[in-house]
Structure 1
Amino acid sequence: MTFNVLLQYLLPHRALSRVVYWATRWTFKPWKNFLIGTIVRKYQVNMAEAAQSDPLAYQHFNAFFTRKLRQDARRADADATALLSPADGRISQAGRIVAGRIFQAKGQEYTAAELLGGEADAAPYRDGRFVTIYLSPRDYHRVHMPLKGTLRETVHVPGRIFSVAPFAVEAIPRLFARNERLVCHFEGEHGPFVLVMVGAILVSSVATVWDGLVIPPYAPAIRRKSFAGQGITLERFAEMARFNMGSTVILLFPEGAVTLDELAPQQHVQVGQRLGVQPGA
């Protein structure tokens, strides 16, 4: 075990996240300008795509981190049957769910039931398809709908807050099923699908367009919230949530619901880019 991996087990994840949550919202100009400038330089953030292109014009670091893009910066694939990428980032893994098991990396895997918080929730996806997308600090951190869907339920699953960087994904068993996460269940025009917002170290903070800030607070136990009958329907390509610091998005689909394109690990993707197609559409 490397030192970086060992550190993931030893660090006080939630305490650190609370400190960073406050620090990334401090409006003291020298502080927030230092943080923003450091990230822009280190990760070569493309501010020309942002609705506000001046990085130092943002009120605080988190406002910069969750920045909106220009309206013309991203486009949905013109094919109405295309499955869209919900996020900017890189493909971590994608492919078949085999008897309820999802491939993580280099011999690591976890179950859909562990990820979603229950066997019944996982049953429709037992032999389905999955896509895992990693968002780095340089990426756009708003998450959009891969398909049109009506929100049925959210499940806030408590857990650790390990890093989701590639080194951790390769080394920490069942990482995505162990981190704090928000599971969003949708009913699409051709069946159910799930979008999982996986938290990460140093503020595993998630906000949705329907509920605002959801994480934190961190959950002491699984929390379910039903939206049945509320008519919350989001169009394909519409914004649905955001990470207030980087993390990972996981999509799950039942067998036969989508045919994925050839998606290679570390392949760069952008919001609205085609990931596959709905055969029955």
Structure 2
Amino acid sequence: MKKTLFKYFVELTGNPVASSLLKSVTTSRWSRPLIQPFANTYRINEAEMEHPIRHYDSLQALFTRQLKEGSRQIDTSPNAMISPVDGVLSGVGKINTDQTFLIKNHQFGLNEIMGTEKKAATYKDGYYYIFYLSPSHYHHFHYPIDGEIVSRYALGGVSYPVNNLGLRLGQSPFSTNHRLISEVSTAFGNVAIVKVGALNVNSIQLYNASKECVKGQDFGYFSFGSTVILFIENHPNFTPTVGLNTEVKMGQTVGEWVQ
């Protein structure tokens, strides 16, 4: 029961009014008494948090916490792709024709996720990863590979300011979830990083509009519930190195381009 209640606080609901109320409570100092019970319920590792738990003045402050430097090890091998987040790998494999992907309890095609058939075409016959971040997880996202941003856009149903980037969502709703897509040009082809936020609120925060991508670099976070999807352009030498339902840490190798 307690886990279900806490999950609503950080993943929100399908009801805009309820989501707005939960957001107000979670971001206020009134939620401070919930911090330690939340940490206990989800067995959050307090030793790796940037600050002692008493430092956080709201439940959302705890949810969006940073980690101590050195808490995650980054595989720096140039041909290794790392996990961009801490999470559970709820989907992984080859992208087949007409395939759908289970995200937030709904099935979506590649075209729907990427927004257009033209955008999706780059990743057909490639590979995909779906990372689910539970309330217990660290909620920042990092670059999975070195490269350069060649496209960054947002999709969903309402206006969406992203740290003064002036981005706006498209008109097609994605189960009312906002999503921000970063396409990275790498030495092995394109990689799309799709950040899917919470229901009914703008919950994806970017630090800046830099185009440089450094593997392992923190470039934003989720303020509420989240999923991250990676689409990898088809490459004859790419191989996933982790299996379905694996619990992964940011920086851990999840795939590699075999030389």
Match of 1:254 among 233, 245, 248: 233
Kindly provide the CA deviation profile for residues 2-51 of structure 1, in whole angstroms up to 9, marking residues without a partner as x: xx9xxx9xx65333333233222213xxx232221221011111111111
Amino acid aligned to 2:38: I
Task: Sort the Cα spacing of 1:204 and 1:13 in 2 relative to 1 into closer, same or farther, 3 A.
Answer: farther
Moved more, 196-205 or 69-78: 196-205
- The more displaced of 133-142 and 12-21 is 12-21
- Cross-structure match for 1:23: 25
Distance 2:36 2:189 in 1: 44
- C-alpha RMSD of the superposition: 2.6
2:57 alignment counterpart: 59
> How does the TM-score come out when normalised to structure 1?
0.75
Shift of 1:93: 0.7
SS at 2:32's partner residue? Answer: helix
Determine the C-alpha separation between the residues in 1 that align with 2:222 and 2:148. Answer: 21
Structure 1: which amino acid aligns with 2:240? L
Gaps of 5+ in 1: 161-175, 212-230
Match of 1:199, SS state, is: strand
What are the equivalent positions in structure 2 for 1:107-146 lying under 5 Å apart? Answer: 109-146=107-144
1:51 counterpart SS class: coil
Please give the alpha-carbon distance, in whole angstroms, between the structure 2 residues aligned to 1:253 and 1:131.
9
Structure 1 residue aligned with 2:41: 42
Find the residue that maps to 2:121 and give its secondary structure.
Answer: helix
Name the SS for the 1:125 alignment partner.
coil
Q: TM-score, normalised by structure 2?
A: 0.81
Unaligned runs of 5+ in 2: 159-172
Matches for 1:1-281 after TM superposition, within 5 Å: 13-27=15-29, 31-52=30-51, 54-99=52-97, 101-104=99-102, 109-159=107-157, 177-178=174-175, 179-201=177-199, 203=201, 205-210=203-208, 232-256=211-235, 258-264=238-244, 266-279=245-258
The CA distance in 2 between the partners of 1:65 and 1:262, in whole Å, is 26
Does the 8 Å contact 1:256/1:279 carry over to 2? Answer: no
Distance in 1 (CA, whole Å) between partners of 2:83 and 2:14 is 33
How far is the alpha carbon of 1:112 from its aligned partner? 0.9
In the TM superposition, residue 189 of structure 1 has moved relative to its aligned partner by 2.5
Provide the residue aligned with 1:163 in structure 2: none
SS in 2 for 1:21: helix
Shift in Å, 1:78: 4.3
Distance (whole Å) between structure 2 residues aligned to residue 137 and residue 60 of structure 1 = 15
Deviation at 1:200, TM superposition (A): 2.5
Alpha-carbon distance in 2 for matches of 1:19, 1:38: 20
Instruction: State the aligned residue count.
Output: 232
- SS of the residue corresponding to residue 180 of structure 1 reads strand
Identity fraction in percent:
29
Query: Structure 1 residue 159: deviation in Å?
Result: 4.9
Structure 1 residues 55 and 43 mapped into 2: Cα distance closer, same or farther (>3 Å)? same
Separation in 2 of the partners of 1:49 and 1:180?
A: 29
Runs of 4+ in 1 over 6 A off after TM superposition: none
Offset at residue 191 of structure 1 (A):
1.8
Secondary structure of 1:139's counterpart equals coil
Report SS of the residue matched to 2:122.
helix
Q: Provide the C-alpha distance between the structure 2 equivalents of 1:78 and 1:186, rounded to a whole number of angstroms.
A: 17
CA distance in 2, matches of 1:210, 1:102: 32
